[in-house]
Amino acid sequence: MSALLELKHLTVEFHTRAGVLHAVNDLSYSLAAGETLGIVGESGSGKSVHALAMVGLIPSPPGRIVSGEVLFNGRNLIGMPERQLRDIRGKEIGFVFQDPMTSLNPVLTVGRQIMEPLRRHLKLSQNAARKRAVELLDLVGIVDPDRRLDQFPHEFSGGMRQRVMIAIGISCEPKLLIADEATTALDVTVQAQILELVRDLKRKIGTTVIWITHDMGVVAGLADTVQVMYGGRIMERGPVSAIFRDPRSAYTWGLLRSLPGKITAPGQRLYQIPGSPPNMVHPPAGDPFAPRNSFATDRCRTEVPPLRQVDGGAAGHQVAAWYDLRSAIANQGAQS
Ligand SMILES: Nc1ncnc2c1ncn2[C@@H]1O[C@H](COP(=O)(O)OP(=O)(O)O)[C@@H](O)[C@H]1O
Ligand SMILES: [Mg+2]
């Protein structure tokens, strides 16, 4: 499989009153055509910022792309003129962001908002765009789509609005769909329906997907590859089965232990990773997770660990850690 998307050393900062905030730090990864990448990590990990930076949506100032390349089909999106980016956004790269900039406009009908990219990017006529909009609403599971098109966003439930956002995101059959916390605000039943819809769409139109969420549980059923981010860096990355069955980063391990399904005994409290994410104006010197990691060594506190292939791990399973998680856990067990 050839890479559809390749990030090379992407670094993004914000100039805040408190100082320079290092949101995304030397981030590199690639994504094959047809792959579904799940990106997880607590709030503030740089998930949204890196995605916005890719498509030229970082507000500048205060944001600044310090360095790096984002190759999409071999073309570098960083530094690309806004006019060209506008042709790529919504057409070749669709997104569903939980962001006021890209959510539905309350004063325009839903139909108009679905038809806009179809008319602009695909140059469809009014009639053809309307016909396609009906098909799209139908595709995302909205009943009575023709009538629904003439309604306003407030006439839709939260789940229905999210379906509309997905319809817009996929309207031009993008090569890449980026969904950022697309189901976070929805109840679990609707969330499950949306995830089923995305799986279905992948089967039908073969879109490559980046699914960003703070919820480890969501990526389990959707992603081929999971990428765990923290402090604007990749802590661990690999095939979904490797990440869930054989985590090698203490951070991934903590996220997995915090999953609700992990409650075994009645009355047992859900695990919570101690401490809170770092202040990225003054990030830790070494491994960003070291201050919260009981397995951290002196080296973890002073030197950033590179992302490397896991010893004896699955193909493509990479971790950034100086400690060896499995022996650290075994030692801890022996001591207690
Ligand atoms: N507009 C902004 N101005 C200043 N800091 C920002 C801005 N947007 C994001 N950040 C900071 O960048 C870091 C990464 O944020 P973000 O990518 O939104 O995290 P995530 O999506 O993983 O929750 C955080 O420390 C956040 O506070
Ligand atoms: Mg976010």
Q: Which CATH architecture has domain 3-223?
A: 3-Layer(aba) Sandwich (3.40)
CB-ligand 1 contact for 182 (6 Å cutoff): no
Measured in Å, residue 38 CA sits from the centre of ligand 1 at 19
**266 pLDDT band (50/70/90 cuts)?**
low
Peptide bond into 61 cis (omega under 30): yes
**325 pLDDT band (50/70/90 cuts)?**
very high
Per-residue pLDDT of 230-244, as tens digits, reads 999 999 999 999 999
Choose one of 17, 21, 39, 229 to mutate for the ligand 1 pocket test, by most ligand atoms within 8 angstroms of C-beta: 21
What is the distance between the alpha carbons of residues 13 and 214, in angstroms, rounded to a whole number? Answer: 21
Measured in Å, residue 43 CA sits from the centre of ligand 2 at 6
CB-ligand 1 contact for 25 (6 Å cutoff): no
Ranges of each domain in the chain: 3-223, 247-335
Tokens 């139908």 -> residue? 138
CB-ligand 1 contact for 52 (6 Å cutoff): no
166: tokens are 């997905």
Per-residue pLDDT of 139-190, as tens digits, reads 888 999 999 999 999 999 888 898 899 899 999 989 999 999 988 777 788 7
CB-ligand 1 contact for 125 (6 Å cutoff): no
CA torsion 247-249-254-259 (nearest 10°) is -30
